[in-house]
Amino acid sequence: MIALFAAGAGRALEAGFDGVEIHGAHGYLIDQFINLKWNQRTDDWGGEKRCRFAAAVTRAVLAECGAGRTLLRFSPGWSTPGSGWQQPAETLPLLLDTLWDAGLRILHASHGEYDQPNLPAELLPAELRPASGLLPLHQATRALWKGQLVGVGSLTPARAEAALALGEVDATAFARALLANPDFVSRVRGGHELRVYRPDYLTKLV
């Protein structure tokens, strides 16, 4: 499986893509290894080594594409529906340290709502913890990650601009807005109103 990830990344570059994103989120295979709810292995791929598979895939893809063309997407609170990470306060630092040691330098922190608090505040030093006891994913990741960070989650263009200006993230991503607006870039540049996303737009992709 690790070799297949690398081969797919290599073919993407051959096809003309500028880079690749490793999908380590939303209940797919890499996320299943990270999430203790699903990964109950007792060998070298489980327990305290549950992030090893993500690191092995990352190293293989980096060998194909290079650090400047590779990022990884992860989603602690928006994994398989109803099944966010167990022990997120322990798992997030473990994953980020493991990926950094593997050579990754660009990370995509994915949550359905960018500003929604969903991770325990204990991830931050005591003096920086909010009274609510929870942090948005981008804030928790920024505090722990030394590389570049991409944020996503129902962002509006205005909120995305603010996130960049405040240094919360280094880049922003849009998904549902693009499904609703295939001409998203030209609409934003022209100051035109965006169509509101509807779930039935997904059926048009099949």
* CATH, residue 69: 3.20.20.70
Q: Does residue 126 carry a pLDDT above 90?
A: no
pLDDT in tens, 42-97: 999 999 999 999 999 999 999 999 999 999 999 998 655 567 888 899 999 999 99
- Indicate whether 18 belongs to any domain: yes
Residue 28 a catalytic site member: yes
Instruction: Catalytic residue, from 28, 114, 197, 201: name it.
Output: 28
Whether 189 maps to a domain, the answer reads: no
Q: If you ran DSSP here, which 8-state letter would residue 48 be given?
A: G
Which residue shows structure tokens 């096809």? 15
Residue-wise pLDDT for 10-20, tens only, equals 999 999 999 99
23: pLDDT confidence band, cut at 50, 70 and 90? very high
Number of structural domains the chain divides into = 1
CA–CA separation, 89 and 137 (whole Å): 11
Query: Does 181 fall in a domain?
Result: no
Is residue 179, in this structure, part of any structural domain at all?
no
Comparing 17-31, 67-81, 136-150, the range with the smallest average pLDDT is 67-81
Would 120 be classed as within a structural domain? yes
Q: In this predicted structure, what is the pLDDT of residue 82? A: 62
Is 202 inside a domain boundary?
A: no
Q: How many Å apart are CA 190 and CA 157, to the nearest integer?
A: 12
Helix pair angle (2-14, 52-65), 10° resolution = 30
Residue 194 included in any domain: no
What average pLDDT does range 94-101 have in this prediction? 98
Residue 187 located in a structural domain: no
Mean per-residue pLDDT over the chain, rounded:
93
Give me the residue label for tokens 């870039």. Answer: 185
For the whole model, what pTM was predicted?
A: 0.91
Q: What is the 3-state secondary structure (H, E, C) of 108-164?
A: EECCCCCCCEEEEHHHCCHHHCCCCCEEEHHHHHHHHCCCEEEECCCCCHHHHHHHH
97 lies in which domain range?
2-173
- Say how far apart CA 66 and CA 68 lie, in whole Å: 6
Two structure tokens written together for 112: 């359905």
